[in-house]
Amino acid sequence: MIKPFRGGIRKGGLNALSGGSIAITSMTPKPVQQLKKREVFHENNSNPSSDDESDVDDRHPPRPPKTRRSSSGVIAAAMAPYVTEFDLYEPQSADDRELPIQKIAVVGSGSWGTALGRIAALNAAEKKGFDHEVRMWVREREIPGQGLLTDVINSTHVNHRYLPDVPLPHNLVAVSELADVVKDATLIVLVVPHQFLTPVLEELSKPGVLTTGARAISAIKGVEVAGSEIYTFPWLIEKKLGIPCSALGGANIAMEVAQSEFCETTIGVPSKDDAALWHAVFDSPMFRVHPIEDVAGVSLSGALKNVVALAAGFVDGMGYGGNTKAAILRIGLLEMAAFTKEFFPSSSSLTFSHHSAGVADLITTSFGGRNRKCAEAFIKTGKTFAQLEHELLKGQKLQGVATAEETYQFLHARGHFIVTQIQPP
Amino acid sequence: MIKPFRGGIRKGGLNALSGGSIAITSMTPKPVQQLKKREVFHENNSNPSSDDESDVDDRHPPRPPKTRRSSSGVIAAAMAPYVTEFDLYEPQSADDRELPIQKIAVVGSGSWGTALGRIAALNAAEKKGFDHEVRMWVREREIPGQGLLTDVINSTHVNHRYLPDVPLPHNLVAVSELADVVKDATLIVLVVPHQFLTPVLEELSKPGVLTTGARAISAIKGVEVAGSEIYTFPWLIEKKLGIPCSALGGANIAMEVAQSEFCETTIGVPSKDDAALWHAVFDSPMFRVHPIEDVAGVSLSGALKNVVALAAGFVDGMGYGGNTKAAILRIGLLEMAAFTKEFFPSSSSLTFSHHSAGVADLITTSFGGRNRKCAEAFIKTGKTFAQLEHELLKGQKLQGVATAEETYQFLHARGHFIVTQIQPP
């Protein structure tokens, strides 16, 4: 069911607050290993077994190098019952419903695709209602001295290029032919770099390639601009493939997700059915999924936050402090919401102000992401972004720069934008 | 006038977005010295002269050590026309109104009090409608070999103890007697450590001490808890002094404010008149003031953000990454708003999600503040907070720890809180 926005706390008082506050009540440091069972669980906690620490530790080996108290399950356990109030679907477990067995395909195998594939495969192996095998599309190539890349991934269960040192579940199978990857798949995760999306959709839209009744989700960041028109990737995918498409976004730095640092993610869905299914695919104790009814908001936030992160990097590069950076983030967040609301009127400003895909993603990206890093270097070194992409990103493109150019061109084509340039003296 | 909340962008399209986006349109770094005049100014920009850079540079000497492009006025100029849409008073300039001359008193001279006194004195010297002299209350003491502290401040125009290296305007006058500080004052800035508030209010409430028609503003962080009751400081001040009291809060690390790093602040006001007056006292090109109609929200956010910053410090101390920290901040912000709405129903969740006193202050404090720093040390060293206050803060108290204890006791007294402790194994 869709929960109405109430803007306050859940009826029944402040019970829901206990989750986020546990650390504060303990005023002397103690070994962090066991969380006392709460007397009252959140009444809508759909997965109470996620508090089971042995399960957490088994599935999520602790990250090796950092200094850390023993159990990675503490934060997950503390936060598991916390469900936000705002504009949220309450996902039903797919297990409870009469559904055909779901088969997951992951189209893409960069760091983010592999991290998402890992989580989906762990869930497919464990939850009812899923085909055990999750296929992941890998662009085939020869690895010198080791053979084909798919064979290397399938024998070592590591994606050495994009997620080195992260063991992958054996039921995540690398496949080189796109048609084989999506064969019989009912749930298709699209996570290719956005310049590859058009040829991928071309291939998938051929007759007989997709299964009837399949659904897609986009984890691709960016927007598609054509003159004075702007499109989200889920919209393009729906149009081209004729299937419903959701959007996934949140404060999710890929390597941290792969190493089972606790995080949250937001899924913008077009329907309740999509909410339940994608929640089942991705939700796990260390990766909490909150579905909301705003595909456009999740898509746009994921794209525009990279532009604000560039501004945050400029602030860092120019030597300004925390006050200025916080002002840039606050105003940037309002701008992101305003832009989205202007051109996608059905979107919700709550997506930006309350959800992981909004404010949390912006914070993470503006402090830790590569757009911020390159923007700081841009100010300090005077090099072009093209140079910095070559030197710092091994030739990968900075999404913030591309999105800034595209949204600028779009706004200009719409006659909205006022050109303001910083001029030499 | 009070502007209605519209939740979107200003009519007239995206013009308002140009302010925050200027850096992005310039794709190669250029000397940052002169901002091309925008063709269109924000129609409600109440102080267009703030774009005058010579004025900015004159009043705000650049911070010496950091690597920085030349002009500190660029960000201020870019952001000056940006006025948020949300729940905002549009302050009228005090110059335009028929008012008696206003006289400002600053009660407190720690780093934050001195930083605010400096801004108020610069404005009082420059704007019409203000008595030139701003008095600041200093607890008198003998400085070995130099004489009385007030004399040292008034002869050197530096507060060596709390804001070393920051030159203060000569019209900011240190005074040791509280009754002398507030004599004839119409605008009283209360910025004492909160444990000193009660005796200060005792003194100020004596007959003949305060001027008729005076107003107060509180920049004190924290809350007052008595059993199952909770009070904001502005409420206590209003009760005790019988004068209207506003609240000031925002992403404002004192030293950065004193050194004229660009920042924003939020003022929660009980009336339009207060909005106009306090805006005139504090608004300047590098310290943008946004008045809103939510005294309780600004007060509570300033108190509760320190508790969330402790949690952020625990995350850092335990070695978790950006995803986890962003989740803590997101959930913490929702908790702050939920707590405030529960006990101060007239407050607005927009104060938390959209304003500097909310989301921006939380970000700054959770990345740069001393609560975060001490909480990280608490995890890493195993020392008590009392020890850490002694070692890292020269004996000053951590506000987050006090506020956590007070709100815990309050919630417990109300029967709301579920005790969840991290237990030893």
How close does chain A come to B355, measured CA to CA in Å?
7
Contact between B173 and B204 (Cβ < 8 Å): no
Measured CA to CA, the distance from residue A216 to residue A188 in angstroms comes to 5
* Contact flag A315-B75 (C-beta cutoff 8 Å): yes
Mutate to test the interface with B, among A24, A116, A264, A323 (most CBs of B within 10 A): A323
* pLDDT of residue A199 exceeding 60: yes
Cβ neighbours of residue B294 closer than 8 Å, sequence gap 6 or more:
B87, B268, B346, B347, B348, B350, B351
Contact check, Cβ <8 Å, A261/B321:
yes
pLDDT at A70 over 90: no
Q: What's the pLDDT at A100?
A: 84
Q: Which residues of A touch B416 (CB under 8 A)?
A: 13-15
B121 CB-side CA count, 13 A: 22
Sorted by sequence, the CB contacts under 8 Å of residue A156 that are 6+ apart come out as none
**Dist CA A319 CA B261 (whole Å):** 10
Our CA-based measurement puts residue A253 at a distance from the nearest CA of chain B, in whole angstroms, of 6
pLDDT digits (tens, 9 = 90+) for B326-369: 999 999 999 999 999 999 999 999 999 999 999 999 999 999 98
Contacts of B102 (CB under 8 A, 6+ apart): B94, B129, B130, B131, B186, B187, B277, B280, B281
Report the residue of chain A nearest B379, measured CA to CA: A29
Is A379–B69 a contact, with Cβ atoms under 8 angstroms apart?
yes
Q: Please determine, for residue B292, whether its predicted confidence score (pLDDT) is greater than 90.
A: yes
Residue A397 contacts residue A389 (beta carbons within 8 Å): yes
- For residues A333 and A305, what is the distance between their CA atoms, to the nearest angstrom? 8
Q: Which amino acid appears at position A402 of this protein?
A: A
pLDDT of residue B111: 93
Alpha-carbon B24 to chain mean position:
29
- Among the listed residues A103, A221, A305, A325, the single catalytic one is A305
Task: Tell me the nearest-neighbour CA distance from A268 into chain B, angstroms.
Answer: 18
Tell me the chain A residues in contact with residue B86 when contact means C-beta distances shorter than 8 Å: 334
Angstroms from A138 CA to nearest CA on chain B: 27
User: Does B422 contact A30 at a Cβ distance shorter than 8 Å?
Assistant: yes
Binary contact (A318, B32; C-beta < 8 A)? yes
State how far the Cα of A257 lies from the Cα of A368, in Å rounded to an integer. Answer: 14
E strand or H helix at A259: none
> At A124, is the pLDDT very low, low, confident or very high (cuts 50, 70, 90)?
very high
**Which residues on B lie below 8 Å from A334 (Cβ)?**
84-86, 354
Task: State the pLDDT at residue A71.
Answer: 38
Task: Give the pLDDT score at B64.
Answer: 33
Cβ-based contacts of A14 with chain B (< 8 Å)? 338-339, 342, 411, 416-417
CA distance to partner chain B, nearest, from residue A407 (Å): 10
Ramachandran area for residue A242 (φ above 0: left; ψ -120 to 50: alpha; else beta)? left
Identify the pLDDT of residue B419: 53
pLDDT for res B328: 96
Please compute the mean of the pLDDT values over residues A51-67 and round it to a whole number.
Answer: 31
The Cα–Cα gap between A131 and A180 comes to 15
Q: Which residues of B13-36 are buried (b: 16+ CB within 10 A; e: fewer)?
A: ebbbbbbbbbbbbeeebeebebbe
- Whether the CB-CB separation of B370 and B393 falls below 8 Å is answered with yes
Q: How far off is chain B from A421, nearest CA to CA, in Å?
A: 6
CA–CA distance, B377 with B389 (Å, rounded to integer): 11
Helices (H), B110-213: 111-126, 149-156, 178-182, 197-204
Q: Write the DSSP string, B365-408.
A: HHHHSHHHHHHHHHHHH---HHHHHHHHSTTPPPHHHHHHHHHH
Three-state secondary structure along B274-326? HHHHHHHHHCECCEEEEEECCHHHHHHHHHHHHHHHHHHHHHHHCCCCHHHHH
Measure CB to CB from residue A332 to each of B20, B86, B382 and give the nearest one: B20
Residue of chain B whose alpha carbon sits nearest to that of A316: B68
Taking 90 as the threshold, does the pLDDT of residue B20 lie above it? no
- pLDDT at res. A89: 66
ipTM over the 0.90 cut-off: no
* Per-residue pLDDT tens digits for A85-109: 455 666 555 455 566 899 999 999 9
**Which domains are seen in chain B, by residue range?**
102-293 (3.40.50.720), 300-412 (1.10.1040.10)
Mean pLDDT on B219-223: 93
A323 vs A327, B17, B306, B361, B399, CA distance in Å? 6, 20, 16, 8, 19
Q: What's the pLDDT score for residue A90?
A: 64
Q: Convert the pLDDT of each residue in B141-168 to its tens digit.
A: 998 999 999 999 999 999 998 999 999 9
Answer yes or no: do A420 and B36 touch at CB < 8 A. Answer: yes
Nearest by CB to residue B307, choosing from A24, A82, A261, is: A24
Lookup result for tokens 């007959």: B207
From CA A181, how far away is CA A137, in angstroms rounded?
Answer: 6
Using a CB-CB distance cutoff of 8 angstroms, which residues of chain A are in contact with residue B51? none
Tokens of A8: 């306050």
Residues A416, B14: C-beta atoms closer than 8 Å: yes
Q: Which of the four pLDDT bands, split at 50, 70 and 90, describes residue A161?
A: confident
- Structure tokens that stand for B231 in this block: 């009070």
Structure tokens at A132: 């055990």
Q: Smallest CA–CA separation between A383 and chain B, in Å?
A: 8
For the stretch B46-104, pLDDT in tens is 333 332 222 223 333 333 333 333 334 555 555 444 444 455 666 555 455 566 899 99
What's the pLDDT at B394?
79
Inter-chain CB pairs, A–B, below 8 Å: 344
pLDDT digits (tens, 9 = 90+) for A369-415: 899 999 999 999 999 999 999 998 877 789 999 999 999 999 989 88
Residue B27 above 50 pLDDT? no
The alpha-helical segments, DSSP class H, found in B80-223 are: 111-126, 149-156, 178-182, 197-204
Sign of CA dihedral B123, B124, B127, B130: positive
Place of tokens 């084909």: A148
Of B103, B221, B305, B373, which residue is the catalytic one?
B305
Interface test with A, best of B9, B83, B420 (most A CBs within 10 A): B420
Per-residue pLDDT, averaged over A240-262, amounts to 95
What is the gyration radius of the CA atoms in chain A, in angstroms?
22
Mean pLDDT of the region A171-175: 98
Q: For residue A76, is pLDDT > 70? A: no
Radius of gyration of chain B measured on its C-alpha atoms: 22
Q: Do A425 and B34 touch (CB under 8 A)?
A: yes
Half-sphere exposure of B115 (CA within 13 A, CB side): 20
So what's the pLDDT on residue A310? 97
Chain segment B360-399, per-residue pLDDT in tens: 999 999 999 899 999 999 999 999 999 999 998 877 789 9
Q: Do B318 and A68 touch (CB under 8 A)?
A: yes
Contact between chains at A24 and B363 (C-beta distance less than 8 A): no
> Among the listed ranges A58-72, A314-328, A330-344, which one has the minimum average pLDDT value?
A58-72
* The Cα angle at residue A368 between residues A367 and A371, in degrees rounded to 5: 90
Per-residue pLDDT tens digits for A349-372: 999 999 999 999 999 999 998 999
Paired with A189 in beta bridges are A106, A217
Distance CA A361, CA A219 (A): 13
Decide if A18 and B420 are in contact by the 8 Å CB cutoff: yes
- Considering only CB atoms, A263 lies closest to which of B311, B323, B385, namely B323
Q: Please tell me which of the candidates A9, A26, A326 has its beta carbon nearest to residue B363.
A: A326
CA atoms within 13 A on the CB side of A23: 29
CA distance B13 to A421: 20
Q: Tokens representing A399?
A: 């999404």
d(CA A217, CA A237): 9
Mutation choice for A interface testing from B260, B353, B416 by most A CBs within 10 A: B353
From chain B, the residues in CB contact with A8 under 8 A are 338, 341-342, 349
Interchain pair B380, A67: CB under 8 A? yes
For CA atoms A213, A217, A220, A224, the dihedral sign is positive
Q: What is the pLDDT of residue B100?
A: 84
Q: Is A305 annotated in the active site?
A: yes
Q: Which of A23, A318, A361 sits opposite B311 (nearest CB)?
A: A23
pLDDT at residue A248 tops 80: yes
Residue A47, min C-alpha distance to chain B (Å)? 19
B200-213 pLDDT per residue, tens: 999 999 999 999 99
pLDDT of residue B31 exceeding 90, the answer is no
The mean per-residue pLDDT over the stretch A318-328 comes to 95
* pTM attached to this predicted model: 0.81
